[in-house]
């Protein structure tokens, strides 16, 4: 959440699902809109749709990111924004490992596709086209899903020392 705030994105919406009470406590003092996803069991698509609900009419693009990439920082998010400013119609995605992924900045034209997502699928299909601009994300392949992942990140000095597994 903090990298998005520090990079100047507004509004910042956080969609919470499982273990939402503990997660909410961790961010309740930050300048974010918190949305509770009662349909979280459907998967990632329901969270994306909820995050896009009532998007400001002047929004040029939507940044999608997850909370489990400890190497994420404001500098990377600003680089996505700079790439978007160079080509406002392109999707701007990150590359790490052999993957194209999030964070990704999607221009407004992608909203219908994002709102049509269903199930436990993110926006991977939107990131595969030849017109996608790619930004390298060193460390992006590391995500925190287990206590072991958290220990790996800590041993590498990646992410905040206060990071913890919620839920």
pLDDT of residue 81: 95
Q: Is the pLDDT of residue 156 over 90?
A: no
Cβ neighbours for 16, distance < 8 A, ≥ 6 positions apart: 23, 24, 34, 35, 36, 37
pLDDT of residue 18 exceeding 90: no
Sign of the torsion formed by the C-alpha atoms of 63, 69, 73 and 79: negative
Q: Is the pLDDT of residue 92 over 80?
A: yes
Task: Return the pLDDT at 120.
Answer: 86
Task: Give me the pLDDT at residue 167, please.
Answer: 55
Residue-wise pLDDT tens digits, 93-119: 999 988 999 999 999 999 999 999 998
Q: What is the pLDDT of residue 160?
A: 60
């Amino acid at each position: 959440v903090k990298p998005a705030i520090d990079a100047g994105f507004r509004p910042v919406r956080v969609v919470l699902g499982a273990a939402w009470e503990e997660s909410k406590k961790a961010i309740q003092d930050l300048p974010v809109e918190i949305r509770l996803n009662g349909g979280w069991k459907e998967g990632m698509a329901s969270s994306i749709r909820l995050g896009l609900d009532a998007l400001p009419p002047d929004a040029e693009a939507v940044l999608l990111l997850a909370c489990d990439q400890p190497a994420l920082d404001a500098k990377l998010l600003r680089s996505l924004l700079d790439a978007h400013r160079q080509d406002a119609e392109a999707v701007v995605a990150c590359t790490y490992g052999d993957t194209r992924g999030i964070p990704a900045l999607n221009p407004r034209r992608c909203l219908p596709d994002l709102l049509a997502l269903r199930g436990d699928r993110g926006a991977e299909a939107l990131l595969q086209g030849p017109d996608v601009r790619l930004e390298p994300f060193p460390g992006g392949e590391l995500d925190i899903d287990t206590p072991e992942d958290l220990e790996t990140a800590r041993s590498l000095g990646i992410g905040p020392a206060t990071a913890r597994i919620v839920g």
